[in-house]
Structure 1
Amino acid sequence: MSNIQPSNFTPPSEFELDTLRQEYFFLQTIIEDYNKQIWVIKALGITGTGAVIALALQQKQGLIVLLGSAIPVFFWVLESQWKHFQRGFYPRVIEIEEILLKDCKLRSPAIFGEWCRSFKRNTVSKRKGYVWDGLLNPSVFISYILEIVFLLLIWRFVTFT
């Protein structure tokens, strides 16, 4: 959206502004709900990995650890799907913020834009799609890679001691 407005531009009515505000906060609530579910997924994955480690150390079986390495992979895929779905709401949030900030000259709400500015992130992803928004999103994959590496270290310990 540009700052140059056509001569026939009319600001939104109070009803339209109220509807935009409601939609904006509804979308923010949905995004936050996705975050809550993502934390549950992450916690379940870590719990499953911990159970595999405990069982492998108790039984002294390296095969348990190797088979248990599938747990973080499954949860990684699950979380990446949730993150991908969540990111589908971002373009509309950005659009509403631009309407309210630029067209209506309001100073708020600007939750997403301010977060991006604070953390020096672009509001629009350079890459799009499931692989980039979910699977290879650093907020998703780093913990699972660490779990897998830790499991492989445990496997080495159990197998070669």
Structure 2
Amino acid sequence: MSTPPSTESHSSPLDDFELDLLKQEYFFLQTTIEDYNKQIWIIKALGITGTSAVLGLMLKEKQNAITIAIMGCAIPIFFWILESQWKHFQRGFYPRIAQIESIFINTYGLLSPKIYGSWTYTFKRSPTPQHKGYLWDGLLNRSVCISYLLEIAFLLIMAAIAPNFAK
């Protein structure tokens, strides 16, 4: 009678070394992505601060509010472009994260870590984006453009109603 194959994993030192490298790379990439997020929040905060300064100037100089608002739209546009570049660079790390998670699952039979895979599943996002490139990954990325479009719209609306505010 033959003995059943052992269910214990017999990995070679090379497999263990490669797994350790993959784990280090995975968590390094996750940390790098989080560092980009921290910088992106700083960019957003600076953009909102600049927009607030324009709003204050519009309310002070009501007769020139429309001119100030139109010129002031340069601030959110500038920060929109800056943040979109950071988001585009950040998204360059996502394919490698997905690849490492796939290696963990398919090669090593691990169920975790799966930070990126879980996030894409929860938010119903595809690990491989439909569109690639700076325009889609950065400039028109929903998490980037919506806040700046709202800032621009807010400035223009406030410019239209600012002259009606009492002194």
Q: TM-score, normalised by structure 1?
A: 0.90
Distance 1:154 1:16 in 2: 58
Q: Distance in 2 between matches of 1:18 and 1:37?
A: 29
User: What is residue 123 of structure 1 aligned with on the other side?
Assistant: 127
1:154 maps to 2:137: no
Shift of 1:160: 6.5
Per the TM alignment, residue 156 of structure 1 is displaced from its structure 2 partner at its CA by: 1.0
2:98 equivalent among 71, 94, 99: 94
1:23 matched to which residue of 2?
25
Measured in 2, the distance between the counterparts of 1:75 and 1:107 equals: 39
The DSSP-based 3-state class of the residue aligned with 2:79 is helix
Q: Which amino acid letter does the alignment assign opposite residue 106 of structure 2? A: K
Query: Once the two structures are superposed, what CA deviation does each residue of 1:31-75 show, in whole Å capped at 9, x if it has no partner?
Result: 000000000000100110001001110121221111101100000
Structure 2 counterparts to residues 10-159 of structure 1, below 5 A: 13-60=15-62, 61-62=64-65, 63-159=67-163
Shift of 1:81: 0.2
Give the partner amino acid of 2:20.
Answer: D
Q: Larger Cα Rg: Structure 1 or Structure 2?
A: 2
Distance 2:68 2:91 in 1: 35
Q: Distance in 2 between matches of 1:130 and 1:160?
A: 41
The aligned amino acid for 1:102 is: N
Q: TM-score, normalised by structure 2?
A: 0.87
Percent identical: 60
AA aligned to 2:75 is I
Q: Deviations over 1:62-105 (max 9, x none)?
A: 21111101100000000000000000001110110000011110
Cα distance in 2 between the residues matched to 1:13 and 1:98: 16
Gaps (5+ residues) in structure 1? 1-9
Letter matched to residue 19 of structure 2:
L
The offset of 1:110, in angstroms, is 0.6
In the alignment, which residue of structure 1 is the partner of 2:7?
none
Per the TM alignment, residue 159 of structure 1 is displaced from its structure 2 partner at its CA by 4.9
